[in-house]
Amino acid sequence: MSHHHLWEMIRTLYFLGLSVSMLFTFFMSKDNSLVMRFLAAILIGVTWPLSFPVVIVFSFF
């Protein structure tokens, strides 16, 4: 497997996780301000490998 192909797979997986976590966070947040919901979704989306599991756990409560 070439390094370029591996990089493409990692990048695709990261952007897929970013998209899913942003959408999930945006719709699960309960703030009235759309700006704050969008900002939270962006921040969680960018750091999704560590912060998205926390969002999932908090959504249960």
Domain boundaries, the chain: 3-59
Query: Looking at residue 43, what is its pLDDT?
Result: 95
**CA 45 to chain centroid:** 3
pLDDT tens, 9-46?
A: 999 999 999 999 999 999 999 999 999 999 999 999 99
What's the whole-model pTM score?
A: 0.83
Containing H/E element for 42?
helix 34-46
CB neighbour list of residue 52: distance below 8 Å, 6 or more residues apart: 17, 21, 24, 25, 44
Secondary structure (3-state) at 9: helix
Asked if 55 and 26 count as a contact pair (C-beta separation under 8 A), the reply is: no
Query: Looking at residue 11, what is its pLDDT?
Result: 96
Distance CA 38, CA 49 (A): 18
| pLDDT for residue 4 is more than 90 | no
| pLDDT for residue 61 is more than 90 | no
